């Protein structure tokens, strides 16, 4: 009996290593393996940590310009079934176009910088330490009005937005390809159940 078990012990011990090595070849697979291990343990992340992604450019001339953001908590990062949290910095003059999340409340916390938030039919300046609460199906847009990056953390009460973020981006360090208007429109139509953009 002991001899039979001793044959299985090395195989069982090597299984996680083999799974990890087999996943390392495909982009994003290592993240999934790491997140699966953390699902029940939770996460402790520093400001630059998480699933770092770069949006695909809309035009060829912008192909080298980074537009990074971080998905910090979701189903793949930490294993949360409900919450989604991300972090990004908007450059001076940059904005998040008007949209609404149909099935999820959102909170935007301003970590640094300043901007103009449009919520429904109201507008207000937001500064470091400010919070914007966006009930589901409420129009929101945000523009950096300062001279430094507007750093924001965003939290959703239900998953969905991170899926369209992934489809319109690549993992940081991966080659970026231009996203065509047709592809962007297809992605937005596919995820319209969660996020609807104003025309």
pLDDT tens digits along 63-91:
444 568 999 999 999 999 999 999 999 99
Determine the pLDDT at residue 64. Answer: 45
d(CA 106, CA 104): 6
Strand partners, 144: 115
| 8 A C-beta contact, residue 48 and residue 151 | no
CATH 3.30.70.2170 fits 42-197, yes or no: no
Tokens of 123: 């507008």
Read off the pLDDT band of 61 (50, 70, 90).
low
**Cα–Cα–Cα angle for 141, 143, 146, nearest 5°?**
155
3-state SS record for the chain: CHHHHHHHHHHHHHHHHHHHHHHCCCCCHHHHHHHHHHCCCCCCCCCCCCEEEEECCCCHHHCCCCCEEEEEEECCCECCCCCEEEEEEECCCCEEEEEEECCCCEEEEEEECEEEEEECCEEEEEECCCEEEECCCCCEEEEECCCCCEEEEEEECCCCHHHHHHHCEEECCCCCCCCCHHHHHHHHHHCCCCEEECC
Q: Range(s) for CATH 2.60.120.10 in the chain?
A: 42-197
pLDDT score at 182: 94
**Percent share of the chain, pLDDT over 90:** 70
> What distances in angstroms separate CA 93 from CA 15, 52, 123, 146, one per listed residue?
50, 23, 16, 8
Mean pLDDT along residues 98-106: 97
pLDDT greater at residue 192 or residue 38: 192
> Residue 141: how many CA atoms within 13 Å on its side-chain side?
16
pLDDT reported for residue 198: 87
Prediction pTM value: 0.77
What percent of the chain clears pLDDT 70, i.e. is strictly above it?
75
Q: 162 and 73 in contact (C-beta within 8 Å)?
A: no
């Amino acid at each position: 009996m002991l001899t039979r078990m001793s044959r299985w012990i090395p195989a069982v011990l090597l299984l996680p290593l083999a799974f990890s090595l087999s996943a390392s070849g495909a982009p994003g697979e290592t993240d999934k393996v790491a997140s699966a291990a953390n699902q029940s343990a939770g996460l402790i992340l520093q400001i630059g940590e998480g699933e770092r992604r770069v949006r695909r450019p809309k035009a060829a001339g912008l192909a080298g310009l980074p537009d990074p953001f971080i998905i910090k908590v979701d189903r793949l990062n930490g294993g949360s079934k409900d919450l989604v949290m991300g972090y990004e910095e908007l450059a001076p003059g940059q904005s998040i176009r008007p949209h609404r999340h149909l099935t999820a409340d959102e909170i935007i916390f301003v970590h640094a910088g300043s901007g103009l938030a449009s919520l429904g039919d109201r507008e207000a300046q937001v500064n470091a330490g400010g919070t914007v609460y966006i009930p589901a199906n409420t129009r929101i847009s945000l523009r950096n009005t300062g001279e430094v990056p507007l750093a924001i953390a965003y939290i959703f009460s239900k998953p969905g937005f991170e899926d369209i973020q992934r489809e319109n981006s690549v993992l940081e360090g991966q080659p970026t390809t231009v996203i065509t208007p047709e592809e962007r429109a297809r992605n937005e139509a596919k995820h319209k159940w969660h996020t609807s953009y104003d025309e």
